[in-house]
Amino acid sequence: MRNKVPLNKFKSKFYVCPCCGNNNIAHWLEKEKDGVNFNIYRCLLCKSGFMNPQPTQEFLESIYHLSGHGLLRPISFEQVMAAEADYPNSMVDSKRIVKCAKKLLNLVGPLKVLDIGSGYGFFSREAINEGFDVTAVNPSAWENDVFEKLNGFRPIQSFFEDIDFDKEKFDFIILSQVLEHISDPLQILMKIRTLLSQNGILAIAVPNVNSILVKILKERDNGCLWVPEHLTYFSKEGLFAILKRSGFGINKHLYVSRIPYSILSDLLNLKGSPRKVTNGLVKFCQWLPLRLTDHVGLGFIHNIWAKPFL
């Protein structure tokens, strides 16, 4: 069973928004998990949220050295691939993020990719399929076992913050579902800025704190407001602000919303053909309402592509 956060193992509070740097912040929500109360503050300017205080780095590392997916036990390659076949998720996201980045790069020749927090390896696989030379970094042993079977090599098993790349440059850096886990996202983005080539692209995916789910569920939301793993909860304004502060200009932003196609099949314990039909029905029925949700800025996930200022 996962360790609880020791009540005396929180960092000191901080008094400015980690996204825009504004000091006009206020307590927003309190969220309980495993008998521990986590306080979430919100910036009154950019509307981003953040856990305050945060758990110590030592506690967070005790989680991520095994899994960044909230796993309580190892997962097999076969299980991961079966889940993706039932509900294509990471494969869909990886194709969108990698193909858009390749179009924005508009470069020829061998291009180098850094996949930070590479998870099970679907983004790295898509980058390899698009002709990139991939370096992957991920601290989680269980995920890296799956990654190795998917891609034929193992990621550097470490936290990105702890690696010295010795002036190496990358043309494309992937940061999917990672930045919300970082204690100091500004410092990480500034480090990434030094690793990108002059015309390189950074692609980010993070949950949207202004999503319709957060607005309805508030502290009961576990997609964006997942404690203690998620530390920063990004609004569009906050995401733009922190990228500008770390030396990036925005190329493209979009919202992405998707409900697992298998949600009804799981509830009804369906198998075989009834499951496939039901999954297809859920996929079809959600398309229009979720596109409208994205259109009005209430989508579940931010996708953003950015280039460093010259």
Residue 1 has pLDDT above 60, yes or no: no
Q: What is the pLDDT of residue 56?
A: 86
Q: What is the pLDDT of residue 11?
A: 83
Q: What is the pLDDT of residue 270?
A: 95
What digits encode the pLDDT tens for the residues 109-135? 789 999 999 999 999 999 999 999 999
Class of domain 25-308: alpha beta
Q: What is the pLDDT of residue 65?
A: 64
Segment 175-189 mean pLDDT: 95
What digits encode the pLDDT tens for the residues 224-274? 999 989 999 999 999 999 999 999 999 999 999 999 999 999 999 999 999
Those residues whose C-beta lies under 8 Å from the C-beta of residue 137, and which sit 6 or more positions away, are 114, 115, 116, 117, 118, 155, 156, 158, 159, 160, 163
Segment 78-84 mean pLDDT: 95
Average pLDDT value for the chain: 93
Segment 98-116 mean pLDDT: 92
Q: What is the pLDDT of residue 48?
A: 98
What digits encode the pLDDT tens for the residues 5-24? 555 578 888 899 999 999 99
Q: What is the pLDDT of residue 70?
A: 65
What digits encode the pLDDT tens for the residues 27-58? 999 999 888 899 999 999 999 999 999 988 78
Segment 280-289 mean pLDDT: 96
Residue 66 has pLDDT above 70, yes or no: no
Encoded amino acid at 274, one letter? P
Q: What is the pLDDT of residue 256?
A: 98
63-67, 84-88, 191-195 — most confident range: 191-195
CA angle 138, 144, 146 (to 5 degrees): 140
Q: What is the pLDDT of residue 6?
A: 58
Residue 62 has pLDDT above 80, yes or no: no
Domain ranges of the chain: 25-308
Segment 151-167 mean pLDDT: 94
Q: Do 48 and 232 meet the contact criterion of CB atoms below 8 Å apart?
A: yes
Q: What is the pLDDT of residue 289?
A: 97
**81 Rama class: left (phi>0) / alpha (psi -120 to 50) / beta:** alpha
Encoded amino acid at 142, one letter? W
Helix (H, G, I), strand (E, B) or coil at 170: strand
First to last CA, the chain: 48
Segment 178-202 mean pLDDT: 95
- Residue closest to 278 by CA, chosen among 300, 259, 299: 259
Q: What is the pLDDT of residue 108?
A: 75
Segment 166-170 mean pLDDT: 92
Percent of the chain at pLDDT exceeding 90: 83
